[in-house]
Amino acid sequence: MREELKDEEKFGEIYNFCFGWEKEEGQKSLGLETAMGMWQLLFAENRWLLVDHWCEFLEARHKLAIAPDTWTQLLLFVRTVDPQLSNYDAEGSWPYLIDEFVEYLNEKGIIKI
């Protein structure tokens, strides 16, 4: 499975599968603790350098279940925005939670935009 995770297409398939597999039956969203655990697991081995900050942000500011669109958009964010956020477009169409995460990183001095 580790080899499959190195392939971007396979990783995307596994990533998307995990949302449905982990959410409680009958629920549309994924519990925050479960989502954070899955992100830690999926983005292990330096696949996304900001995963720990993402989880800290969610615990501090969000504290709610993760909607399917947030799950999906986060993977797109990870794939398109570099870890220093130098190509982040504040006028882009990211979900509010991702925009708030970028603001959080800036406020904490982790990333300067």
Q: Alpha-carbon distance 105 to 97, whole Å?
A: 12
* 35-to-1, 5, 32, 39, 49 alpha-carbon distances in Å: 20, 18, 5, 6, 17
pLDDT digits (tens, 9 = 90+) for 87-100: 999 888 899 999 99
Which residues span the domain enclosing 17?
A: 2-107
* 30 in any annotated domain: yes
pLDDT in tens, 19-58: 999 888 888 999 999 999 999 999 987 689 999 999 999 9
Enter the tokens of residue 44: 């292990």
Assign 64 to helix, strand or coil: coil
**3-state SS assignment for residue 66:** strand
Q: Is 53 domain-assigned?
A: yes
Q: Return the CATH number at 53.
A: 1.10.238.200
pTM of the model: 0.89
